[in-house]
């Protein structure tokens, strides 16, 4: 079957990201010693509406000194930089770790007993008037089950809706609460919170340097239906930031710098890229 003429193309597909060490080049000449890639070590990155390879050319110009009008006698170009950019919108654990140079830890749902919190009330507080204070919890709470909040000794149980209210990930101690009365300049108290926690993923950010990854797009053309595969062998990068509050779907804007995979030997007679290739059907 002949290769389709793609005069119009809308590329789409699934992006797989994995450690570069798991990538094996499959398009080398026979006997090169690189078996087929095993995608079990590569993770589907989820919804990525845009992914693009960009490269920058360096230019070296020799002026024509032999002509009255000047001009250019010689010009040379070479690739100075090569990157792949993408907007990752799936907030799955592996994406968070890559984007935030982070480490993930998971804790299954269950009961949390007597989590101790020291709270402080300020008698003069312009942000939360009259000493109201938010108390964050260590896990993500399941508020379908009411918590139990007591003093440190456990002798006093505080009343939901009077002494405290529920936030998304913690409790709010209002001005009228008997947990602690505001005085100048501030007053502290220790309380205990027992609650039911949801499955909780914690990502500690900026704990690792960027790691080499492989990036593969198992794609298709929306305009023609033709399959397209784009394979980036080795790249390294991170997100340019992390949205905390947004009015649109959250995304990580990622930039990876593509480097040469030197495991792929140079063959002058039939050059094979050390950077990336694309297959089209």
Which of 198, 227, 245 is the last residue in one of the domains?
198
* Residue range of the domain that includes 124: 109-198
Q: Which of 98, 115, 125 is nearest to 44 (CA)?
A: 98
Question: How many separate domains does the chain show?
Answer: 2
First-last CA distance in the chain: 9
Q: Is 136 helix (H, G, I), strand (E, B) or coil?
A: strand
Residues 33, 48: one domain? Answer: yes
- The tens place of each residue's pLDDT in the chain, 281 residues long, gives 455 565 688 888 888 887 775 544 443 333 332 232 233 356 678 888 889 999 899 999 999 999 989 999 999 999 899 999 999 888 887 788 888 888 888 889 999 999 999 887 655 554 555 556 888 999 999 999 999 999 888 899 999 998 899 999 999 888 777 776 555 556 677 889 999 999 988 888 888 778 778 888 888 888 888 888 898 988 988 888 888 888 888 888 999 999 988 878 777 787 888 888 888 87
Which of 156, 179, 198 is the last residue in one of the domains?
198
The answer to the question of residue 262 being in a domain is: yes
Query: What is the C-alpha separation between 142 and 195, in angstroms, rounded?
Result: 8
Which H or E element spans position 185? none
Cβ distance 98 to 238 under 8 Å?
Answer: yes
The answer to the question of residue 5 being in a domain is: no
Query: What is the C-alpha separation between 86 and 237, in angstroms, rounded?
Result: 11
* pTM of structure: 0.73
């Amino acid at each position: 079957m002949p290769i389709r003429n793609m005069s119009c193309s809308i590329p789409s597909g699934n992006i797989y990201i994995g450690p570069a060490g798991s990538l094996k080049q499959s398009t080398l000449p026979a006997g090169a010693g690189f078996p087929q890639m095993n995608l079990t070590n590569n993770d589907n990155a989820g919804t990525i509406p845009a992914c693009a390879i960009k490269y920058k050319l360096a230019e070296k110009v020799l002026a024509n000194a032999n002509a009255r009008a000047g001009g250019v006698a010689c010009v040379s170009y070479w690739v100075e930089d090569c990157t792949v950019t993408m907007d990752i919108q799936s907030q799955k654990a592996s994406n968070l770790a890559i984007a935030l140079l982070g480490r993930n830890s998971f804790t299954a749902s269950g009961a949390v007993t007597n989590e101790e919190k020291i709270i402080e009330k300020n008698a003069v507080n312009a942000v939360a008037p009259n000493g109201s204070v938010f108390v964050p919890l260590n896990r993500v709470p399941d508020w379908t089950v009411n918590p139990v909040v007591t003093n440190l000794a456990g002798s006093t149980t505080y009343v939901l809706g009077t002494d405290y209210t529920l936030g998304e990930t913690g409790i709010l101690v209002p001005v009228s609460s008997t947990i602690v009365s505001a005085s100048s300049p501030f007053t502290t108290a220790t309380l205990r919170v027992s609650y039911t926690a949801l499955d909780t993923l914690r990502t500690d950010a900026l704990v690792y340097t960027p790691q080499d990854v492989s990036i593969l797009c198992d794609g298709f053309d929306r305009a023609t239906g033709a399959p397209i595969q784009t394979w980036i062998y080795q790249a390294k990068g991170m997100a340019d930031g992390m949205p905390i509050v947004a009015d649109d779907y959250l995304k990580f804007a990622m930039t990876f710098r593509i480097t040469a995979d030197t495991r792929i030997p140079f063959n002058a007679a039939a050059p094979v890229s050390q950077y990336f290739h694309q297959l089209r059907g």
